[in-house]
């Protein structure tokens, strides 16, 4: 059990909405081991990004707060840390890469300066060694002529290159956990392939744990060891990648997988569709949050929220499995 690098328990994040608070993440639990990748999938607004921001305590205090739960990183609760302690953890222990690499980098500082700044802020090194280390890092993430690139500004690099720099920055402090929030969504497929390969390599060589947040089922299938499917702020299914793709239990996961056009299949039949769209957070149905769109919704689903049922590590939040699986959560 000590293998778990990070364990999130019953995380709850709320935002101040126009009509009172809305709960963007509602009691989500998961854990990641060293050298493993957890994929968090879901559509926009399901709370997957908010989850990652909550772990690093990056939710702006004016707009919302983490209202409950625990985030145990190497056994210590990050939610109880002071802001000063958190600063040591961000970057040093847990690094994050964002979807848009241009906003993640300072446009008026050279790549080298930014890397050196990160390195010196987190370890006691002089500028010269830090610069050397920055050069090594760029070489490691596969940027050609790194010495030259260090002197350039972010706008002089392409999107794929910038994302590599972001990864280099995350690595320069030997972070144990890498949170990647849609790291390849803004990139072309051929560049995406390069970045995914790089991340997989790092997972192997550095034994880094990765939380990969994406809406792309293809990327998840390729990268993740475990997968958590989120819908409207709750995890609806949580299992290893094989379980999710080969034996999806929740109607939402099943629908999601069936509604993707696939390259490797004949496509003369119509695509499966999940009818309707995600309800607003302040108009959530009382019972199961998916009931408005679920083809199998029964009377009970509208009035009562299902718990998380579990068997052999495969968790699913649906009444269908109430009897066949044992109750694992609340």
Residues that bind other proteins (CB under 8 A): 43-44, 158, 160-161, 188-194, 196-197, 215-222, 241-242, 245-246, 255-257, 259-264, 266-267, 270-275, 277-278, 293
Backbone angles phi, psi at 200, to 5 degrees: -65, -40
Q: CA-to-CA distance for 17 and 319, rounded, in angstroms?
A: 30
Considering Cα of 179, then 169, then 100, then 90, what sign does the dihedral take?
positive
- Distance (Å, rounded) from C-alpha 168 to C-alpha 270? 43
Is the Cβ of residue 29 or residue 51 nearer to other proteins in the bound state? 51
Nearest distance from C-beta of residue 169 to other proteins, angstroms = 20
Shortest distance in whole angstroms from residue 269 CB to other proteins: 10
Minimum gap (Å) between residue 224 Cβ and other proteins = 9
SS3 92: coil
Query: What CA–CA distance (Å, rounded) separates 90 from 159?
Result: 24
Q: Which is nearer to other proteins, 218 or 313 (CB)?
A: 218
**C-beta of 44 vs 82, nearer to other proteins:** 44
Query: CB of 92: closest distance to other proteins in angstroms?
Result: 31
The answer to whether the beta carbons of residues 175 and 211 sit under 8 Å apart is: no
The C-alpha atoms of residue 125 and residue 229 are separated, in whole angstroms, by 42
- CA–CA gap between residue 37 and residue 219 (Å, rounded): 12
Cβ-based nearer residue to other proteins, 69 or 248? 248
Q: How far apart are CA 47 and CA 40, in angstroms?
A: 10
Measured in degrees and rounded to the nearest 5, phi and psi for residue 38 equal -105, 125
Beta strand 234-240 with 226-231 is antiparallel
> Whole-angstrom Cα distance, residue 309 to residue 316?
5
| Residue with smaller CB distance to other proteins, 70 or 100 | 100
CB 326, min distance to other proteins, A:
25
The DSSP H or E segment spanning 252 is helix 251-258
Q: Which is nearer to other proteins, 210 or 241 (CB)?
A: 241
Name the residue nearer to other proteins (CB basis): 8 or 41: 41
In whole angstroms, the minimum distance from the beta carbon of 19 to other proteins comes to 17
Distance of CA 144 to CAs 28, 80, 118, Å? 41, 42, 21
Shortest Cβ distance from residue 112 to other proteins (Å)?
20
- CB 277, min distance to other proteins, A: 5
Token pair in block for residue 108: 């008026």
Report the alpha-carbon distance of residue 99 to residue 187 in Å, rounded. 9
Task: Give the nearest distance from C-beta 16 to other proteins in angstroms.
Answer: 21
Residue closer to other proteins by CB (options 179, 196) is: 196
Q: Which residue has the tokens 């995914």?
A: 196
Residue whose CB is less far from other proteins, 107 or 261: 261
């Amino acid at each position: 059990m000590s293998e778990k690098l990070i364990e999130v328990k019953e995380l709850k994040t709320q935002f101040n909405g126009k009509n009172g608070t809305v709960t963007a993440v509602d009691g989500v639990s998961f854990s990641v081991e060293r050298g493993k990748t957890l994929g968090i999938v879901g559509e926009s607004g399901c709370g997957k990004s908010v989850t990652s921001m909550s772990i690093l305590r990056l939710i702006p205090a004016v707009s919302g707060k983490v209202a409950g739960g625990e985030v145990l990183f190497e056994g210590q609760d990050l939610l109880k840390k002071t802001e000063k302690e958190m600063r040591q953890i961000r970057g040093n222990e847990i690094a994050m890469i964002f979807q848009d690499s241009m906003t993640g980098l300072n446009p008026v500082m050279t790549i080298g300066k930014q890397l050196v700044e990160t390195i010196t802020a987190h370890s006691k090194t002089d500028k010269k060694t830090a610069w050397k280390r920055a050069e090594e890092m760029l070489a490691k993430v596969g940027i050609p002529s790194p010495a030259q690139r260090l002197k350039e500004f972010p706008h002089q690099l392409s999107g794929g290159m910038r994302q590599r720099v972001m990864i280099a920055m995350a690595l320069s402090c030997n972070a144990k956990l890498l949170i990647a929030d849609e790291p390849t969504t803004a990139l072309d497929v051929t560049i995406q392939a390069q970045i995914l390969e790089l991340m997989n390599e790092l997972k192997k060589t550095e034994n880094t744990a990765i939380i990969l947040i994406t809406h792309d089922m293809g990327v998840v299938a390729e990268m993740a060891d475990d997968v958590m499917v989120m819908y409207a702020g709750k995890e609806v299914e949580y299992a290893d990648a094989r379980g999710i793709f080969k034996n999806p239990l929740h109607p939402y996961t099943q629908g999601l997988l069936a509604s993707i056009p696939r390259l490797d299949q004949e496509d003369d039949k119509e695509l499966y569709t999940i009818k309707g769209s995600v309800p607003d957070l302040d108009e959530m149905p009382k019972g199961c949050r998916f009931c408005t769109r679920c083809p199998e919704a029964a009377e009970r689903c509208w009035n009562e929220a299902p718990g998380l049922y579990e068997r052999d590590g495969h968790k699913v939040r649906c009444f269908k499995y109430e009897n066949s699986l044992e109750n694992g959560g609340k």
